[in-house]
Structure 1
Amino acid sequence: MKAFALALGILAALLGGRSTLAGGAFEAEPVIGGVSMACRDFRGRIVQTLHAPLRGDVGRATFISAVPVIALDPARLATLPEKMQIFFYQHECAHHVLAHIINPTIESEREADCWSIDRGRTAGLFTRADVEAFAPFLAHSRGSAFGHLPGPERHAYLLACFDAPDRSQAAYNR
């Protein structure tokens, strides 16, 4: 138990904020964008959610003492519409589901984007109009060295994923 507490303290330091873990910050079924969410990784393990400051990122997929975790920045989430909050949660879940967390590739971010959009559409959480409404929130994103497309390109890609459910189908079936 001490090793787990130490790992949590290290994570809090890495994430750039104080730990609020004593109050039960880990959740197996967090409410994101007004919807109860859940995620299981590629092994079928429950992915825990941790709310912590992330220094600019909305979310990150990680492990803490072999426990799969989605870390979300509540301040960043609060600036986004509910549907985008769900998109970002599902995007981080995809990294666990598709095993990107242990075997990342240059395509990992695009696969996670499509997986998130596909899941949202299939579950009835996203309409095309919802995804269209992401545009102003992505517009100024410069992308990332990790494979996130620049904002306008990413938005076009998300719409293409919505319109073509079989896009990256091999990744969805992992």
Structure 2
Amino acid sequence: MLIRRGSRRLACGLIALLMVPAPAFAQDPKSPTPEEYVAHTGGEATIVAAGEFKLDGIALYCGTRPTVIDNNLDDYGAAYPGFLIMNMRLLSRVTTPVKLWIYSHECGHQFRGPDEETADCFAVQRGRRQGWLSPGGVEEICSFIAPAKGDAMHFSGSHRCEYMRQCFGEFGIR
């Protein structure tokens, strides 16, 4: 049976997604609390209460979820059910729109689930609605993610960028 290339990519992506553990998104009773996460880091991470986290002087919130600061995290940000994790050491290397997009992307996982494109769209639409993201800021984000190759969870940076440009221009919420 012949499967079109796009369908094959989608099927492979879904299979890969099902094979990769996703502790950041599963509503698993074994997921850590923010306090357990901090304890696991040996106390090097800290918890910032919901609504008190700031990036470049801008107060950010993700509903009632706290933010954990972990400068040893192997990425700019991450999400577990009920809290976000930000690596301030890595975030200090990028522009304000990119920082705010990363935070909002991780917040998008809290509200919309594990899908990366959905979290990307959530982030750019949130930025547009809140006034911190302009078309120029979208291009800064695109420059940041353009080198990214696709993996089991993410499309390539160029694909994600095209999708975010489209989402940014739509006024309906995805």
Q: Deviations over 1:43-78 (max 9, x none)?
A: xxx1100110211x1111104xxxx11001111111
CA distance in 2, matches of 1:60, 1:120: 18
Quote the offset at 1:144 in angstroms: 2.7
> What residue is the counterpart of 1:78 in the other structure?
92
> What residue is the counterpart of 1:47 in the other structure?
65
The answer to whether the 8 A contact 1:33-1:83 is kept is no
Structure number with greater Rg is: 2
- AA aligned to 1:9 is A
User: SS at 2:83's partner residue?
Assistant: strand
1:151 to 149, 154, 157: 157
Equivalenced residues, count: 140
CA distance in 2, matches of 1:7, 1:127: 35
Quote the offset at 1:6 in angstroms: 4.8
2:141 to 116, 134, 146: 134
TM-score relative to the length of structure 2: 0.72
Q: Deviations over 1:146-169 (max 9, x none)?
A: 1x2211111121111111232xx3
User: SS at 1:70's partner residue?
Assistant: strand
Give ranges in structure 2 of 5+ residues lacking alignment.
Answer: 1-32
Alpha-carbon RMSD? 2.0
Quote the offset at 1:27 in angstroms: 3.0
2:126 to 102, 119, 126: 119
Quote the offset at 1:91 in angstroms: 0.7
Q: How does 1:36-115 map to 2 (within 5 A)?
A: 36-40=59-63, 46-52=64-70, 53-55=72-74, 57-63=75-81, 68-98=82-112, 100=113, 104=114, 108-115=115-122
Is 1:160 matched up with 2:174? no
> What residue is the counterpart of 1:25 in the other structure?
47
**% of aligned pairs identical?**
26
Give ranges in structure 1 of 5+ residues lacking alignment.
Answer: 13-17, 41-45
User: SS at 2:126's partner residue?
Assistant: helix
The answer to whether the 8 A contact 2:34-2:68 is kept is no
CA distance in 1, matches of 2:36, 2:61: 26
Residues 117, 7 of structure 1: CA spacing in aligned structure 2 closer, same or farther, 3 A cutoff?
Answer: closer
